Amino acid sequence: MKFSILVTTGQDFKNWQDCFKHLAGLLEKEKKVKPGYWDSVLEREKEFPTGLQVTPTVGIAIPHPSNPKLSLESTIAVSILPNPIEVCSMAEPDEKIMVSVVLMLALEGSEDHLIMLQQMMETFQDESLLQNLLIIKDTQVIQKLLEDRLGASN
């Protein structure tokens, strides 16, 4: 699956809505998604939250729209957070978890979403990878690392 990755680091957000809206805005600014993308992500997140406690110390969130037709070009917008934000757990929606890595999916097909989610679940169980992502400050290094680990060139 071919996709690109956009990375932001070092930004503090008050809550998950601010963070997710920032990433949706980045995707829209880069012309990777259609108008309405953010509303679709927000709608889906309220019904089916995407926070995952993938290792004992690091949580991630994988927000994506309820309507994949809003994606123009398969892209993952990533934010590495200096201070974790609270999100609802995918496994237990009433539970809150703290996440430091947000990966917003803008993938063109439903099948691509399932393939990518499976790939992410395998990739992000690696605690050392997550710790490295939190330490690295260079967005290009993070982008290359994620492209390699998630198979962007396949």
**What burial class does residue 118 get, using C-beta atoms within 10 Å of its C-beta: 0-12 exposed, 13-18 middle, 19+ buried?**
exposed
Domain range for 100 = 4-149
Residue 56 resides in a domain: yes
Neighbours of 92 (CB within 10 A): 12
Mean pLDDT over 14-22 rounds to 97
When divided into structural domains, the chain yields a total of 1
33 lies in some domain: yes
In a domain, 78, yes or no: yes
Q: Look at residue 68 in the predicted model and tell me its pLDDT.
A: 85
Judge whether 154 lies within some domain: no
Angle at 77 between CA 56 and CA 42, to 5 degrees: 85
Nearest Cα neighbor of 143 from 58, 76, 97 is: 76
For residue 148, give both structure tokens: 């390699």
Instruction: Please tell me the predicted confidence (pLDDT) of residue 98.
Output: 97
Closest Cα to residue 6, out of 89, 58, 61, 79? Answer: 79
Domain presence at residue 117: yes
Interval 58-103: pLDDT, tens: 999 999 999 989 999 999 999 999 999 999 999 999 999 999 999 9
Interval 104-144: pLDDT, tens: 999 987 788 888 988 998 899 999 999 999 999 999 999 99
pTM of the model: 0.95
* Mean pLDDT for the stretch of residues 46-58: 93
For residues 103 and 75, the answer to whether their CB atoms sit within 8 Å is no
**What pLDDT, on the 0 to 100 scale, is given for residue 114?**
86
Q: Is the pLDDT of residue 56 over 80?
A: yes
pLDDT computed for residue 153 by the predictor: 64
Looking at residue 113, its pLDDT comes to: 83
Q: Which of 105, 112, 130, 121 has its CA nearest to residue 52?
A: 121
Q: Is residue 129 part of a domain?
A: yes
Structure tokens at 110: 């439903």
Which pLDDT belongs to residue 112? 86
pLDDT, residue 3, reads: 93
* Three-class DSSP category at 76: strand
Q: Residue 101 sits in a domain of what CATH number?
A: 3.40.930.10
